[in-house]
Each structure stands twice: as structure tokens, then as C-alpha cells.
Amino acid sequence: MYMQGYANNGGDSGVSGYEYGDDYIIIEFKEGKNRFYKYTYLSAGRSAVDQMKNLADVGHGLNSYVSTYKPKHSEKW
């Protein structure tokens, strides 16, 4: 697994990295027992996953999106 560093342009994100493919995104959070969460088209829906990919690429708003909308993850570790 190769995690891309999260730009954190807002300066206060709980996200440290991410990786995504065609139908999923894995988000690495800075703290917590389970730091990696995988969101798929099947678990969270296409629009939510695509939005999280966009926010990851811009480096702003990803943690807030997950906290606000609480998309369903398929796995955590």
C-alpha cells in the first residue's frame, strides 16, 4: 500500500494520508486505534467516494467531510 501524504491546506486536519483506486479510497487518520479506513462505492456510494477523492487531491476538507457526513466504511485497521 502506498499512501499519498495529505496536503492539509487548512492546517488542522486529522488526516495524514490517502490512497485511492477506481472505486475506493483509503484514508489514514493521525490518531486512533484504527487509523486506516477504506470507503468503497458499495459501502459509501459513488458520489461520497468521488467527493472524498476530490477533497484528498485538493488537500482541504477531507476530515470535515468524513466527520460531517459519516460515510460508511467497508474496512478499518
pLDDT at 1 over 80: no
pLDDT band of 3, cuts 50, 70, 90: very high
User: 39 in the Ramachandran plot: left (φ > 0), alpha (ψ -120 to 50) or beta?
Assistant: beta
pLDDT at 22 over 80: yes
Residues 22, 69: Cα–Cα separation, whole Å: 21
Q: Record the pTM.
A: 0.94
Q: Which three cell numbers stand for residue 70?
A: 459519516
Burial of 32 (0-12, 13-18, 19+ CB in 10 A): exposed
Q: Which three cell numbers stand for residue 66?
A: 468524513
pLDDT at 54 over 80: yes
pLDDT at 77 over 80: yes
